[in-house]
Amino acid sequence: MNPQNTKHDPASLVNKQLKQWVQEINELCAPAAIYVCDGSKAEYDRIMAEMAASGMAIPLEKRSNSFLFRSDPSDVARVEDRTYISYPERDQAGPTNNWVHPDELKRTMLGLYKGCMKGRTMYVIPFSMGPVGSPLAKIGVEITDSRYVVCNMHIMTRVGTRVLEVLGAEGEFIPCLHSIGAPLEPGQQDSSWPCAPIEQKYISHFPDENLIWSYGSGYGGNALLGKKCLALRIASAMARREGWMAEHMLILRLTNPQGRQFHIAGAFPSACGKTNLAMLMPTIPGWKAECLGDDIAWMKIGPDGRLYAINPEAGFFGVAPGTAYNTNPMAMDSIKENVIFTNCALTDDSDVWWELMSPPPAHAIDWKGKDWTPDKDYPAAHANARFTAPASQCPIISPDWEKPEGVPIDIFIFGGRRASVVPLVHEAYDWDHGVFMGATAASETTAANIGAVGNLRRDPFAMLPFCGYHMGDYFAHWLAMGDRLGDKAPRIFYVNWFRKTAEGKWLWPGFGDNSRVLKWMCERFEGKVQAQESPIGLLPLKQDLDLTGLKLPADNLTELLKVDAAAWKAELPDIEAHFKKFDSHMPARLSNQLQKLRERLG
């Protein structure tokens, strides 16, 4: 830290609580210097240049102001089994979360934090989740010894002096403490990706205190604490206490040819096309889509009684493999410059490459830094390789994506990857039925998930790894929000783009053609089209799905809209077992919905 530059000196902090906390962490972690981030471009460029000079960041000549990082092979993804939701009582965390008592967890982590930043700079990152000053936004401060984290937080959140101004002398913030857990002794050579061994990694949340402690990992959601840690795990607990919603949802605006806007929020487990839907390019003439967010939605009831949503993030932290011009051209156009790439392959002409992006290069350096050619029997990029890019660079980002009051949500969508059983789309009969659909959401596992391929995994509301309290209570919160919203509640739908024939061929083209299903939802919202009742919900009439210009065989459409009662009956025991996990916290209203489904199936 330059002592002459008082702006970056912790003594310049005016918030009393923040100043005291920084002092405490300084004494605990013993860094060589302290630096308060101002969020400027000059700051970002200087810190990135330091990492490039050390060899940690590789400049990419093909993409302006873009850099490639290679993480340690032990530090490549979120570590769910080292992620904890810590309440005084195990029951408060529920059966879906790892739990350790706060006293025990803090004792363990304080031992690890002692002196953990020796030889490193301690960065203080004031950040806003949501537009700075928005009534829906929250302020966090991340303390970290990772320059990689500083630069990623610059992109993923709103960082800097303006945040401190809004915080003021008495404002509240969410403290987020992070260390890579790799102190440096004098003269010691630093690693290209410093981190602690897996058994020392801890990503800990104390929802009663709005507190996040992370140790040992430098990667993704383990280290960028504004993302899943704050925006979902802590925020979901805050939202329940304060009467709003923090959801793992994309936000999309659709505008019909008459100029009417519809706002859609959608929750999907991993590998179910969430980012592709967030950046949809409609294939039906006259319809326009705009992206407001690809991952997280914070929603509060507005003065008119409707639900308003903001995207609390400022960037995209996207999975690179599989992203290509034929799957998501808008994502590809978003990552042409000013991007941080992690664990992608490096081409000989100084660009990045990953599987399915384009034809493979004749030679590349893989994510582990080794020579790679297409004849190798392993991928060049890690399956969880990432890009961090400013959301403002997306060609179809909505002009209202940073609107402080948010946008009014008309429609909720849930979905999963199912080769059979679940039809292309169905609508909930009412709010309780829609919550039941979200609570029973399931997907067949893919190679990207843990577990055998094809196993059915229940992932309620796509929140399984992210709910910061007992999931049964989370279901009850959804029901309570519906009671408050009344007739102004969004309509709820369930989709499945992934139906296959018995021979394993896709029944539905997906991607931009999913706009045809969204059009039907919008017309249902407007009351323009009827629907047919089925045991599982309301289905489209065949003539109401706009298939103009789509060569879809009639048999495909019949199969896509079919409800096989026998197959659904076979699902009931699995849903019952799923609900049983939540024990006394399971809302009776959802058990009721299960009984109603059973009766409708006959």
Instruction: Supply the angle between the helices 431-439 and 588-601 in degrees, to the nearest 10.
Output: 90
Please check the confidence at residue 32 and state whether its pLDDT lies above 70: yes
Where along the chain do its domains lie?
Answer: 6-55+82-243, 246-314+400-601, 315-393
**Among 287, 39, 332, which residue's Cα sits nearest to residue 163?**
39
Q: What is the mean pLDDT of residues 91-98?
A: 98
The torsion angles phi and psi of 285, rounded to 5 degrees, stand at -60, 140
Query: What does the pLDDT read at residue 436?
Result: 98
Report d(CA 117, CA 144) in Å as an integer.
9
Report d(CA 408, CA 413) in Å as an integer.
15
pLDDT in tens, 360-409: 999 999 999 999 999 999 999 999 999 999 999 999 999 999 999 999 99
If phi > 0 it is left, if psi is from -120 to 50 it is alpha, else beta; for residue 567 that is alpha
Half-sphere exposure (CA, 13 Å, Cβ side) for 558? Answer: 3
Please check the confidence at residue 453 and state whether its pLDDT lies above 60: no
Q: Strand, helix or coil at 445?
A: coil
CB 145 within 8 A of CB 29: yes
When pLDDT is cut at 50, 70 and 90, the band that residue 449 belongs to is: very low
CATH superfamily of 315-393: Phosphoenolpyruvate Carboxykinase, domain 2 (2.170.8.10)
The owner of tokens 């700075």 is 132
Q: What is the mean pLDDT of residues 118-143?
A: 98
Q: Provide the percentage of residues in the chain whose pLDDT is more than 70.
A: 98
426 or 455: which carries more pLDDT confidence? 426
CB 69 within 8 A of CB 58: yes
CATH class of segment(s) 246-314+400-601: alpha beta
Q: Provide the percentage of residues in the chain whose pLDDT is more than 90.
A: 96
Q: Strand, helix or coil at 275?
A: helix
Report d(CA 136, CA 134) in Å as an integer.
5
Report d(CA 553, CA 563) in Å as an integer.
18
Query: What does the pLDDT read at residue 4?
Result: 44
Q: State the DSSP code for 590.
A: H
Report d(CA 268, CA 459) in Å as an integer.
9
Q: What is the mean pLDDT of residues 200-229?
A: 98
Q: Which residues are designated catalytic? A: 272
CATH classification number, 6-55+82-243, choose in 3.20.20.80, 3.30.1540.20, 3.40.449.10, 3.40.50.2300: 3.40.449.10
pLDDT in tens, 355-369: 999 999 999 999 999
Please check the confidence at residue 550 and state whether its pLDDT lies above 70: yes
Q: What is the mean pLDDT of residues 114-128?
A: 98
pLDDT in tens, 255-309: 999 999 999 999 999 888 899 999 999 999 999 999 999 999 999 999 999 999 9
CA separation, residue 267 to residues 180, 432, 582, 584, 586 (Å): 31, 17, 21, 26, 21
**Amino acid at residue number 199:** E
Please check the confidence at residue 3 and state whether its pLDDT lies above 70: no
Query: What pTM was computed for the model?
Result: 0.97
Burial of 250 (0-12, 13-18, 19+ CB in 10 A): buried
CB 8 within 8 A of CB 35: yes
Query: What does the pLDDT read at residue 271?
Result: 80
Q: What is the mean pLDDT of residues 578-592?
A: 98
CB 132 within 8 A of CB 158: yes
pLDDT in tens, 33-61: 999 999 999 999 999 999 999 999 999 99
Query: What does the pLDDT read at residue 450?
Result: 45
Query: What does the pLDDT read at residue 263?
Result: 98
CA 238-241-243 angle, to 5 degrees, is: 95
Please check the confidence at residue 451 and state whether its pLDDT lies above 60: no
Q: Strand, helix or coil at 518?
A: helix
Query: What does the pLDDT read at residue 454?
Result: 63
